[in-house]
Amino acid sequence: MKKICALVLGLLGAMNPLFAQRSNVSATPPMGWNSWNHFAEKVTEADVRAAADALVSSGMRDAGYVYVNIDDTWEGKRDAQGVIHTNDKFPDMKGLADYVHSKGLKLGIYSSPGPSTCAGYEGSYGHEDEDARTYAAWGIDYLKYDQCSFGDIIEQQAGGDQDKAASIQRAAYEKMHQAIMKAGRPMVYSFCQYGLYAVWQWGPDAGANLWRTTGDISDHWDRMSLIGFDQDGLEKFAGPGHWNDPDMLEIGNGGMTRSEYEVHMSLWAMLSAPLLAGNDLSKMTPETKSILMNRDVIAVDQDPLGHQAKRLWVEGPMEIWGKDLSGGRRVIAYFNRGEAAFDFDPRLSILAPLHGVRFKDLWSGNTIVLNEKSRLLVPRHGVLLLRQQ
Ligand code: GLA
C-alpha cells in the first residue's frame, strides 16, 4: 500500500510541480515542536537550541518529531533594501539553522501576510519575495503564515463583502506560496487564519500543506476538547500533503490531567493532525514523555493512508470515532467527555466487521477482543484507543 501511495504521489507530482512540492514535504502530518504555547513572546535562541537538544536526548526526534518551529517575536526591522533582520533575541538565524540541521532536525519560522504579526512585530506585507529568499538563505524548512493584521486590510478593501474578503485573503496566501516556490527551498507551508472562509476547501490549491481550522488552543480541557471534537466533518479535506490543523499540542504544560492529555494525543492522532509539541521540552516528566512518545499512537497519526477519523456514534458526552489505517486495519476510539466514568457498550452494530477481532489498547498495551457482552469502562475525560491487531 505504501508503494502504491508513493507511486500515485509521484505521478501527481510529475504532472504538477506545486503538488510535488506540497506532498514531498508533508506526506504525513508534520511533527515537531513550536515555541508559542509555552514560551510565547519570551522565546529566545537559547530556548530554541535547548528544544533542539531535548528533541534528540529525549528520543522525540527518533519518534518522528523533527520540526523546531520558532513562532512569533523573532522579527527585527527591515534594512534600506527591505530585507528583514532578526531582533536581539535571535542574533544569528543562519547559525541557529545550521545547529538545528546538524542534529538531524528542521527549522521553522513564522510571519504574517499583514504589515505586523499578532504580537506586533514586522510582517511580510509587500515583502513576500524578499522574505521567502531570506528564509531560504537562512535554511528555513517550514513557514507558519498567520493572518493577524491582514484582517484589517481585508476589512478595508472588502467592506462587508464576504466573497471579496475570501478572495483577497486567498491571494495573499498564494502570493507567499509563489514566493516560496521562487526562492527554491522546499518548505512546509502552514496557513494560520483560524479556519476563516472555509479554508479547507481552497487551502490545498493555494499551496497549503496544513491550515488551522480554529482559533487558538489553550491548556484547558474545555478549549482543547471543543476544538478537537469539532473537527468532525472536515475529514474529506485531509490527505497526504494537505492536513487540517486543530492547533498545537498542550501536553506537558500542566493545565490538564494525564487522562485529558491522553484524549488530546489520541484525538489529534485520530484526526491526522500535525503533532507539534508546545511544552518546555527541557523539563519533561516521564508522564509527558510517555504520552508524546507513545509509538503506537504516533503511528495512528502518521499512517501513510492519511485518512482523518470521523465520528461514528454520539450520545451526550460519549463518542465513538473510527479511522482506517493502511493494511486494512481500523482504529476505534471510545471517548468519554463526561464528568463521571462510563461503561460503554462497544456498539458492535456500527462496527459489525470487527466482531471477535483482537485489538490492542494503545494506552495500556493490553489485548481486547470485542463481543456483544463486552463492556468498556472509560474514565471521566478519558479515552480507550483500540487498534486492530
Ligand atoms: C496567533 C496564532 C498563534 C500564535 C500567535 C503569535 O494567535 O493563532 O498560534 O502564532 O498568533 O502571536
Tens digit of each residue's pLDDT (9 = 90 or more) over 246-259: 999 999 999 999 99
H or E element in which residue 270 lies: helix 258-270
Please give the Cα distance from 178 to 182 (Å, whole number): 6
Please enumerate in sequence order all residues whose Cβ is within 8 A of that of 46, keeping only pairs 6 or more positions apart, or say none.
none
Q: What is the mean pLDDT of residues 68-91?
A: 98
Q: Is the CB of 250 under 6 A from ligand 1?
A: no
> Is residue 119 in contact with ligand 1, taking CB distance under 6 Å?
yes
pLDDT at 97: 98
Q: What is the pLDDT of residue 350?
A: 87
**344 Cβ closer than 6 Å to some ligand 1 atom:** no
Tell me how far apart the terminal alpha carbons of the chain are, to the nearest angstrom.
Answer: 17
Q: Record the pTM.
A: 0.94
Task: Report pLDDT for 240.
Answer: 97
Instruction: Give 165-192 pLDDT, tens digit per residue.
Output: 999 999 999 999 999 999 999 999 999 9
What class does CATH assign to 310-388? mainly beta
Taking alpha carbons only, the member of 271, 388, 272, 385 closest to residue 335 is: 385
Amino acid, res. 310: K
Confidence grade of residue 352 (pLDDT, cut at 50, 70, 90): confident
**Is 348 a residue whose pLDDT tops 90?**
no
- Atom 11, ligand 1: residue with shortest CA distance: 118
Catalytic member of 71, 72, 141, 146: 146
User: How far away, in angstroms, is 194 Cα from ligand 1 center?
Assistant: 10
Quote the pLDDT of residue 24.
80
Q: Which residue has the higher pLDDT, 319 or 9?
A: 319
- Delimit the domains of the chain by residue range: 28-301, 310-388
Closest residue CA from atom 4 of ligand 1: 36
Q: Is the CB of 145 under 6 A from ligand 1?
A: no
Largest CA distance in the chain: 74
| Fold topology of 28-301 | TIM Barrel (3.20.20)
Share of the chain above pLDDT 90, in %: 90
Mutate to test the pocket of ligand 1, among 216, 227, 248, 249 (most ligand atoms within 8 A of CB): 216
- The answer to whether 216 is a known catalytic residue is yes
Average pLDDT over residues 338-343: 98
DSSP for residue 227: H
Phi, psi of 363 (to 5 degrees): -100, -35
